[in-house]
Structure 1
């Protein structure tokens, strides 16, 4: 955003040309439009995850491919919906007070539909190959799991702990990146790198879930044991997301309750204490002295400053603070700023 023009006396000039057009608030897209964006982003992320797993050693590594897909989806659709594309990120955002609870089930449904559609397209592709007879076995490679028959044979307790901790870290990075005044591409890069690192750690343990929408789609098409173990890949990520979301909510509450460092005494009390016997205050004397020194332009500058006063500055601050992935609610967009809590 371009700064407002400054007058000769230092006051901000008022007028419609002083502010450029702000980025469109997310709630203006409407819940249906944001849900479509969440479904499209989830489709891209889940489809890219499956393709990255099948790529093996012939291309980029699977975790890196997923991280790049997550960053691409956030850049492509994040300005519409907030860039979740994962039920646990939506849940963590709601727990942190960044997303309305009424939008949460719609987001989750859209993400599940996007993930299922991605696997459906893969199933159609595999069905068309003459040499692939057992597609269910192929999808079992993409499914998450635990126990002696899966990957390195980590038990249930290890799989649960790993998924809870990893999901909490992913949601924490997302909430931190989305709440700060950093470029959208930088936020997407941070989340994508986190995806890649965490999936590299989880791959030999559970296959790397972090996303119940992807786990559900894989389990539906794999069937069998994958469906029986699916509960873990909802319970663990949900628990991790709630932990991260509640921590961020407590931080936001502490920021909103803390008094401003430069908070001054009430204006009425200061003026009553400092007024002289004739009813003139030091502030009034300062204004009169300024008028005497600068007789021309003082009135115009004063009028301009008052016209552009608290409301104008507040609106400009809101526009500057509104980030790429911030404030994805209906009608009560808060810009995702710390200290703003939605009830």
Structure 2
């Protein structure tokens, strides 16, 4: 139960700060604050609840940990449920806040949702979105599995993970808004609806594939210091 609650809270924090920054200040200040908000939120969660649940906050991370042989299938299901709940709660709070602005329209302003194609970001197509999300998630989860390995330096995991997530967002915000996290995508999409919901499968499937590949490679010993 402690792990479940920690994952709910941690994912809530991630969505509140990351999606919140995209929804509230993204149009005004651009990519860097959004990327930084996501990175800092994961650093805070890693040091705040990492000792309880490992601070996955992301089904793609959990499936990577599962494929690396570090958690059971039952734990994986529990983590994913907690993460999706936390993301929905975080998106709900952001929705309540942005709805308080007199000229706000979710149809035109959105809510930090992920997407691709004409009218979204740089207009990148489906193939580009899939490639980016798989590769970026693979990199992100590979770093997580590496810095949480038994042979990794102690005390720096949260910082390394946060900086990697920031870098991933700097590359991908203009492509897909950067998901690399199905839960983070599910939360806003449920409130925005329309195209965000119809394209949601991309931001569930691609990160899970990337995370699973990272876990498989790690299990094979290719990214483990003790292999």
Please report the TM-score for the alignment, with normalisation by the length of structure 2. 0.92
Query: Paired residue for 2:39, among 45, 53, 67?
Result: 67
Pick one of 37, 46, 49 that aligns with 2:6. Answer: 37
Alignment match, 1:126: 98
> Once the 2 structures are TM-superposed, how far is the Cα of residue 153 of structure 1 from its aligned partner?
1.1
Q: Counterpart of 2:187?
A: 217
TM-score (norm 1): 0.62
Is 2:24 aligned against 1:52? no
2:142 to 156, 172, 182: 172
Instruction: Give structure 1 regions of 4+ aligned residues with deviation exceeding 6 angstroms.
Output: none
Q: State the shift of 1:123 in Å.
A: 1.7
Deviation at 1:175, TM superposition (A): 0.2
For structure 2, the 5+ residue unaligned runs are none
Larger radius of gyration: 1
> What is the distance in 2 between the residues matched to 1:49 and 1:122?
10
**Deviation (angstroms), 1:61:** 1.6
After superposition, residues 13-28 of structure 1 pair within 5 angstroms as none
Change (3 A) 1:150 1:136: closer
SS of the residue aligned with 1:103? helix
Structure 1 unaligned segments of length 5 or more: list them. 1-31, 256-336
**How do 1:189-228 and structure 2 match up within 5 A?**
189-228=159-198
Report if the CA contact (8 A) 1:126-1:132 is conserved: no
Change in 2 beyond 3 A, CA 1:134/1:52: closer
| 1:84-95 alignment, distance < 5 Å | 84-95=56-67
Separation in 1, partners of 2:204, 2:158: 24
Q: Across the two proteins, how many residue pairs are aligned to each other?
A: 223
Q: C-alpha offsets along residues 208-262 of structure 1, whole Å, 9 cap, x if unaligned? A: 111111110111111001100000001110110111100001118x98xxxxxxx
The answer to which structure has the higher helix fraction is 2
Q: What is the CA-CA distance between 1:149 and the residue it aligns to? A: 2.2
Mapping for residues 269-284 of structure 1, pairs under 5 Å: none
